[in-house]
Amino acid sequence: MPTFTWIAKDAEGRTKRGSGSAPSEGALLQSLRTDGLVTLEVRGAAEAAGGPGRPVWHRIARPRSEDVELGLQQIAFMLGSGLPLTSALETCALQSLRGSMAWTWRQVSERIRAGVSFSDALSEHRCFPRVAVTMVKLGEATGILDEVLNRAADAMERRRLLRQSVMTALAYPAIVLVLAIGVVAFMMIALIPKLTRFLLGFHRKLPPVTQLLVDIAAFVQVHAAGIGIGLAAGAAALAVLR
């Protein structure tokens, strides 16, 4: 009969570790579930002694919300099927098409093996919203983690769709603003200087409003590079915050 080592949490959230023999991993999981324990990890004796690890995934970019939503739904399904949490996380890492998401799931799995709760492990990564982390913490306390993970994924999806709707609604004003900035820049750099030379040819004092436009155009021409860099930096900052 094979021997397994296991890590689980009781109803009060305390981490318990142990080992024992069972006909199969499924039989051991059923036994632990009967004892009121939520299984986090099960390993065979050879693996626990230090078998070969899986290849390491490295973070490439921040995971997308869609990747996180899909992963939470997959974990919920696997937990509902009786799979241990760390095994579900490892499976998600293997199935993730995006390297950054696979890296994140592996990091969460490693933190759980180190004794950190699932919710605390998720909170260490920015791709998991605070509301999702709070819901997972509630699921850990109530023992309905699979249901809560599905609800967290649904909440993230609603938030993402709302955000996309807002961005779509703002797209037209943004395009108009960019065109307006382009027109103003053309006037300041190309049109007004020519008009200024034409008016100065009359050797008369310019009206205050016209003189103000001339001064602004001169300022823009002198500091055109700095203004361009500032606008580009602002656009990049908005893109990152989005």
Q: For residues 57 and 92, what is the distance between their CA atoms, to the nearest angstrom?
A: 12
Say if residue 77 is in the same domain as residue 154.
Answer: yes
Pull the structure tokens for residue 166: 């807002």
Q: Reduce the DSSP state of residue 13 to 3 states and report it.
A: coil
Say if residue 235 is in the same domain as residue 152.
Answer: no
Say if residue 75 is in the same domain as residue 122.
Answer: yes
Give the domain range for residue 91.
65-160
Residue 122 within any structural domain of the chain: yes
Residue 54 within any structural domain of the chain: no
Residue 215 within any structural domain of the chain: yes
Residue 59 within any structural domain of the chain: no
Q: Reduce the DSSP state of residue 40 to 3 states and report it.
A: strand
15-56: per-residue pLDDT in tens? 888 887 887 777 777 788 788 877 777 776 544 444 433 333
Say if residue 154 is in the same domain as residue 82.
Answer: yes
218-230: per-residue pLDDT in tens? 887 777 778 778 8
Residue 168, C-beta contacts closer than 8 angstroms, at least 6 positions apart: none
Classify residue 41 as left (phi > 0), alpha (psi -120 to 50) or beta. beta
pLDDT for 241 equals 54
Say if residue 11 is in the same domain as residue 80.
Answer: no
* Cα three-residue angle 202-207-208, rounded to 5 degrees: 145
Query: What predicted TM-score, i.e. pTM, was given to this entire model?
Result: 0.55
Say if residue 71 is in the same domain as residue 138.
Answer: yes
